[in-house]
Chain A
Amino acid sequence: MNPSPIALSLGPLYFNWPSGQLLDFYARIADETPVERVYLGEIVCGKRGPLTQLAVATAAERLERAGKTVIWSTLISPVNRRERRLTEELVREGEQVELNDFGGLAGRAGAGFTAGPFLNVYNEDTALMLQEMGCTRWCPPVELSLQSISDIAARCPGLETELFGFGRLPLAHSGRCYHARQHGLNRDSCRYVCEHDPDGCRVSTLDGTAFLAFNGVQTLSDGLQLCTETPETLRMAGISALRLSPHSIGTVEVANALRKFLDGDSSAREMVEAVRASTLPLPLVNGYLAGKAGLEWTMA
């Protein structure tokens, strides 16, 4: 019997894209990619949600018609009453949801959910407690090593593990909006200036070495995470899916290159070259998986 293939999923969009771009993007995801699951919903900034609400609902229908499973992902840090109410409604009524804040757990009342990478699940005891509360799948915190993920997965049979496999790494969340600060504004008067940077605004050292990117209240890595582990290694570590994070360029091509690699139809080197050729011209990183600094890159 062939081992079950490593699935691909598409994580929630972190950036502030206009509705037209968002619709085009998800139409291509629906038609041209082998991803099985797509996470939707504004998770970074509650102020943005209303801007694209309709487009996201349309995208969800489009994706479902194409046979994709749609999972609604919740705000990382709901603050005001409106954000809290929307999060609670989603948690209570959503058929498939991903929780990014422990505040959603009680409202879920034992129904199944995915634990997003923003939940601090660093050990098997925490993962087991979440499993008891209905968690069926988790995407580990991005700074966890493959070894730690594997240790946890081994002690939580039945819990699906979905590894953050591609894209700028979500590193930090803040109450302060750096896009607003950059423009001499504050979060409450932000004028949605984050929409000028469809993949985040690059941050460099005084020597000109880029290493981070900010996206509103979120700080990401400048480098693009790329998991080059073989399907055998992933399976050994208990991982059943790789999660891709949406970017304005090359997401469709990356999904197809990864699918080919995971199916054994291309080498890791060929996959990496295909990714480099199609995505944003940013360094590739994967140090976290080896238990090193996240910005390092080692080719398996």
Chain B
Amino acid sequence: MTRGPLELVCPAGTPSALRAAVNAGADTVYCGLRDETNARNFPGLNFSDPELAEGVAYAHQRGAKVMVAINTFAQAGKTAIWARAVDAAAAAGADAIIAADMAVLGQAASHHPDLRVHLSVQAAAGTPEAIRFYANRFGVKRVVLPRILSIPEIKALIGEIDIEVEVFAFGGLCVMTEGRCDLSSYVTGRSPNLDGVCSPPEAVSYSRQDGSRSVALGGLTIDRQVDGAPLGYPTLCKGRFMAGGKTGHLFEDPVSLNTIDVLPQLLDAGVTALKIEGRQRGKAYVEAVTRQFRQAIDALGGADGQPAAGAAMLNTLAEGQRGTVGAYKKTWR
């Protein structure tokens, strides 16, 4: 059962992160199976079938839920792998699956009609028309909104649909619409839609020359800094590039999404659940962010209505140590 006015949905890349999130106050934990069916298909991450079943049991004993992300697009001729993942999630007793591909949604609707289905952000469903299509056709009960809408737009959209809305609240921020980005495969051959990875580690290389360090992806320089200055992971859209005589972060600055200061507005807009990004992050990170958001959500329901934690505290955990509310504020566009 959700404890506060907003459901807190937290990431778990490993069984220990799942336990940490549950113990730190997550209402729901989401995770993926150890294969290409989920969008964090990195080595050393994710759950085997038995681990998933154990994780679900652990969460249920403590009043928390588990959702399984089966949110990549099934490959041609290999849809059985994705169908198996849906079966595995149902068998483990998961409370919902998060899916984007019509093949996966169709499999869940026809073979597991009692399994709750949420529409992944990878489906890029940002209009009432698109959301209603998935709700009517596949019985989707909740949509995770693409990160392109401002808070007033989210409020208006919620007024036009009959299913729950989950929004991203904290963590890495895709500047492109998720599910509509092939930048990674253009440079490396692997992408979120094809393989569940973006800017994959095997394509990353570092070099040093003349007192500066460079990081490249697929042989293309993504950023360069003088020795001693921080050099972030070369996610393609966060790099420094040149265009029209200017050099800089052309697509997005190295910032993370942080909505802690706009939670009252998200609540007022009619949002059901807040999602924390970061299945690739460690247990300590998951625990710290979960705890901060638990406090902030509990404070929303309290008498003073004041958030317990400020944005500054959470920003120390963020990528680049800087926060943004992204598209939730119209001028981000």
Contact = CB atoms under 8 A, between A and B. Distances in A.
Interface in B187-238: 187-189, 191, 193-194, 214, 218, 220-224, 237
A9 B323 CA distance: 46
Contacts of B214: 206
A266 interface: no
Contacts of A203: 241-243, 250
Contact of B127 (A101, A120, A293): A101
B175 interface: yes
A77 B126 contact: yes
A186 B331 contact: yes
Given A171-B181, A212-B183, A204 B242 contact: yes
Residue of B128, B183, B185, B221 with highest tally of chain A CB at under 10 A: B185
Contacts of A292: 189
Interface string A86-110: 0110000000000001111111000
B268 interface: no
B243 A182 contact: yes
Contacts of B176: 172-174, 219
A175 interface: yes
Interface string B88-107: 00000000000011110011
A187 to B, nearest CB: 4
A42 B255 CA distance: 32
A102 B125 contact: yes
Contacts of A176: 175, 251-252, 327, 332-333
Contacts of A88: 129
B327 A178 contact: no
Interface residues of A, number: 69
Interface in B98-124: 100-103, 106-107, 122-124
A236 interface: no
Contacts of A130: 102
Given A181-B250, A206-B221, A219-B183, A143 B194 contact: yes
B101 A123 contact: yes
A147 B102 CA distance: 21
Contact of A207 (B79, B134, B221): B221
Given A123-B101, A176-B251, 18 more contacts: A79-B126, A84-B127, A88-B129, A123-B103, A130-B102, A141-B182, A171-B182, A172-B177, A175-B149, A176-B332, A188-B331, A203-B243, A206-B240, A212-B186, A219-B183, A291-B189, A292-B189, A294-B186
Interface of B: 73-79, 100-103, 106-107, 122-130, 132-134, 136, 146-149, 153, 175-177, 179-183, 185-189, 191, 193-194, 214, 218, 220-224, 237, 239-244, 246-247, 250-252, 327, 330-333
22 contacts: A79-B127, A102-B134, A120-B73, A120-B179, A122-B101, A122-B103, A125-B107, A141-B182, A148-B76, A171-B181, A171-B182, A172-B176, A173-B180, A174-B176, A174-B177, A175-B177, A175-B333, A178-B251, A186-B332, A203-B242, A288-B185, A295-B186
